[in-house]
Amino acid sequence: MTEQNLKDILWGKRIFVTGGAGYIGSHVVLALGETGCEVMTFDNLSTGHRHAVLHGDFCRGDLAEREQLLAAIKGFRPDAVIHFAAAIEVGESVANPLKYYRNNTANALNLLEAMGECGVGLMLFSSTAAVYGNPERIPVDESAQLAPINPYGASKMMTERLLADLASADSAFRYTALRYFNVAGADPMVRIGQDYANPTHLITRALKTALGQFPKLEIFGSDYPTADGTCIRDYIHVADLAAAHLAAVAGLLLGRGAEVFNCGYGHGFSVREVVEVAKQVTGIDFPVEMAPRRAGDPAELVADSQRIRSALGWQPQYDSLTEIVRTAWEWEKKLVSRADSVHEQG
């Protein structure tokens, strides 16, 4: 789809976004707004930020609170729902699995029931490459066996099954699931970006280490069956991922459904390679230390994304690790500048 096609389809449509104050959600809310959508963000702000929601209305609420959720959906009367709200840390999911099944699977069920009660039949679901576990073939396509090796991936896989079963049972319900690979970078205009107090994402962690906010960057595992012994991931710029969401919502509005798409570029970089690019972009030789493997980390995850490119006409604009790191670096410097300004005013 061209940009004009998307605007023609999405203009004036009402989109209810759970978790829209988070990293990926806020970029999608911004993109929806710029395309002419009316947006309602529903977020409990457990990890997101109200100031990151740059378009539309905002409702602070929790998916576990059924009456609150129903009131928000009924009041807004959306054409479609985009569901981001979830816990996302692999290591935490291994240590605290019940949190992930409650937050990611049970709350998705609450949302689907509320949508049904309100007569809303379209959902775009934020899924993950973690549903594949350790895939037998790289790059991995959407037909690969789902075999998650951590509760985070399993909780998302279970929600995908909920969606598929509901779509089979109810002809009025249609969904699309986007399986993200490693999302990174920031809005190219540096309006928003990743803003977690204690990030675990490699690129963000590396850049904060370059700024002196952490004493060192740890590389978790150097004995994986890869060329340099460190994990390999397919990094996708958050702006390209936002564009994929717009294309997927437009597809749903045009009658598509029961579809799953990988969101990645089709090539990966090792942890060591990412660290070297971070050092090049920042010009800072920050300290790096090897550490034991983390539980639940697969050795390699790289997307076969031909399906979304051919079906929805998705064309990435930021397929460059250097550009991903550069935009993230500009955002991190802006966060430091903002913090310094607040400190001076205080």
Look at residue 122 and tell me if it is in a domain. yes
> CATH number, domain at 93?
3.40.50.720
Look at residue 105 and tell me if it is in a domain. yes
CB 275 within 8 A of CB 219: yes
Look at residue 270 and tell me if it is in a domain. no
pLDDT score of 115: 98
- How many domains, the chain? 1
Q: What are the DSSP calls for 290-324, one per residue? A: EEPPPTT--SEE-B--HHHHHHH----S---HHHH
The distance in angstroms from the start CA to the end CA of the chain is: 49
What would the pLDDT profile of 31-50 be if each residue is shown by its tens digit? Answer: 999 999 999 999 999 999 99
Look at residue 73 and tell me if it is in a domain. yes
pLDDT band at 170 (very low <50, low <70, confident <90, very high): very high
Residue 96 CA to residue 150 CA, distance in Å, equals 11
| Global confidence as pTM | 0.96
Look at residue 159 and tell me if it is in a domain. yes
Q: Residue 55: give the domain boundaries.
A: 3-183+237-264+303-316
Catalytic residues: 152
Look at residue 131 and tell me if it is in a domain. yes
Q: Which carries the bigger pLDDT value, residue 81 or residue 341? A: 81
Look at residue 158 and tell me if it is in a domain. yes
What would the pLDDT profile of 275-311 be if each residue is shown by its tens digit? Answer: 999 999 999 999 999 999 988 899 999 999 999 999 9
Residue 107 CA to residue 113 CA, distance in Å, equals 10
Look at residue 100 and tell me if it is in a domain. yes
What would the pLDDT profile of 171-215 be if each residue is shown by its tens digit? Answer: 999 999 999 999 999 999 999 999 987 888 999 999 999 999 999
